[in-house]
Copies of this chain bind each other. A is one copy, B any other.
Amino acid sequence: MWTIDYEDLENIAVGAGILGTGGGGNPYLGKLMTRRYLDEGVRIQVVTADSVPDDATCASVGGMGAPTVSIEKIQRGDEPLVALRALEQYTGKRVDYLVPWEIGGTNSMRPLVQAAKSGLPVVDADAMGRAFPELQMCTYSIYGVPGTPAAISDVRGDIALFPIASSDKLLERYARAVTIEMGGHAGIASPIMSGADMKRTVIPGTMTFARDLGAAVRAAREQLTDPVQAVLDVCDGQTLFAGKITSVERRMAKGFSRGEVVIEGLGDDRGETMSIDFQNENLIARRGDAVIATVPDLICIVDSTTAEPVTTDVLRYGLRVTVVGIPAPRLLKSTAALDVVGPGAFGYDVAFQPLAGVYGSER
């Protein structure tokens, strides 16, 4: 068990930003919200998944919506907790532990904010090991813990509950549709589950991993060593490309930020081009016409000098960036998982060719 301090918060924000693979929302606002609680002396405790009793009640909390909206539409901050309380009221259960839904992006911060407000501990784990655009793309759903009952809540305190859905993919569509009507962002609480189910399905240690990743990057910046190399070291990652962003095509479609970013090579990659498609998160990276990385592996765009994550919402012409490939967690690479989070699930007729290496929290 550890308690979040200011350094942890800075580190998690950087690490989770990188693991967000472009999406998951920019952690900056979530970091500011959490910092306010630390200023007030609130303690936010992080516990290992292993330490959670089988019969405890856990719930995953986070935010739903497009990253581009989350920086434009300021949140109240407790939307996921309002959703959680509605879920508790509906099920008659009291939740003992909060679990991050996705460690990537600001959804790493949202559980911390809810923990600060509720006093509940946060489990050092998540259900993506990164960020994904859709609700069913999580290890809970892939390994048999249904997303229902689920609750969402918006900045006004409006609530929608989804007691039963034929599939988590339909739950995603229902919740997404209401999220759009709520203005493009909602807090979500889903699933509610036993400690045993949580432990069986989560990717453990990802909060610590995000923290350690961020710490290594920040240390490299301070020591004037190469922050991008620090990412590669901590993540068992590889540089896929380095260059300058020359084109960003980005549109809001059905509640998602979709588009493509094009990077012209510099240094060793001069004369080459990389294009990356995204749906909130980066999905597929092509060098020229050749696919060199796809989901579920992590395709991360970072500032070439500072390794600061460059999220979908801040991609712009002229940024010097390095594209880092990070191997996905083992639980995302099973046959069952690839049906949900592999390139085919996003409409690409491409086989998943895993990047070499082991996901950070599994090393």
- The residues of A with any CB-CB pair to B shorter than 8 Å are 86, 90, 156-166, 170, 173-174, 176-178, 180-182
Residues of B within 8 A of A176 (CB): 181
Q: How many copies does the complex hold?
A: 2
CA–CA, A348 and B174, complex, Å: 32
Extra inter-chain contacts (15) besides given A173-B181, A174-B181, CB under 8 Å: A90-B161, A158-B162, A158-B165, A158-B170, A158-B174, A159-B162, A159-B163, A160-B162, A161-B163, A170-B181, A174-B178, A177-B177, A177-B178, A177-B181, A178-B178
* Cross-interface CB contact of A166 among B157, B173, B174, B177, cutoff 8 Å: B157
Residues of B within 8 A of A156 (CB): 166, 170
Give, as a whole number of angstroms, the nearest-CB distance from A184 to chain B: 12
Residues of B within 8 A of A162 (CB): 158-161
Q: Per DSSP, are chain A's interface residues mostly helix, strand or loop, or mixed?
A: mixed
Residues of B within 8 A of A161 (CB): 90, 160-163
Would you give 5 A-B contacts (Cβ < 8 Å), ordered by A? A90-B90, A158-B170, A160-B163, A176-B181, A177-B178
CA–CA, A178 and B177, complex, Å: 6
CA–CA, A234 and B163, complex, Å: 45
Residues of B within 8 A of A177 (CB): 177-178, 180-181
Q: Are A160 and B158 in contact (CB under 8 A)?
A: no
CA–CA, A163 and B170, complex, Å: 20
Q: Are A164 and B159 in contact (CB under 8 A)?
A: yes
In this complex, what residue of B is CB-closest to A152?
A: B174
CA–CA, A177 and B161, complex, Å: 14
Residues of B within 8 A of A160 (CB): 160-163, 174, 178
Residues of B within 8 A of A174 (CB): 158, 160, 178, 181-182
CA–CA, A177 and B160, complex, Å: 12
CA–CA, A359 and B159, complex, Å: 38
CA–CA, A131 and B269, complex, Å: 65
Central interface residue in A156, A165, A177, by most chain B CB within 10 Å = A177
CA–CA, A162 and B174, complex, Å: 12
Give, as a whole number of angstroms, the nearest-CB distance from A64 to chain B: 13
- Contact status of A164 and B173, CB under 8 A, knowing A90-B90, A178-B178: no
Residues of B within 8 A of A164 (CB): 157-159
CA–CA, A174 and B157, complex, Å: 13
Give, as a whole number of angstroms, the nearest-CB distance from A55 to chain B: 25
Residues of B within 8 A of A86 (CB): 163
Residues of B within 8 A of A170 (CB): 156, 158, 181
CA–CA, A161 and B159, complex, Å: 8
CA–CA, A156 and B156, complex, Å: 31
CA–CA, A186 and B257, complex, Å: 29
CA–CA, A164 and B160, complex, Å: 8
CA–CA, A175 and B26, complex, Å: 30
Central interface residue in A157, A160, A162, by most chain B CB within 10 Å = A160
CA–CA, A87 and B199, complex, Å: 33
CA–CA, A164 and B163, complex, Å: 15
Give, as a whole number of angstroms, the nearest-CB distance from A330 to chain B: 32
In this complex, what residue of B is CB-closest to A89?
A: B163
CA–CA, A26 and B138, complex, Å: 42
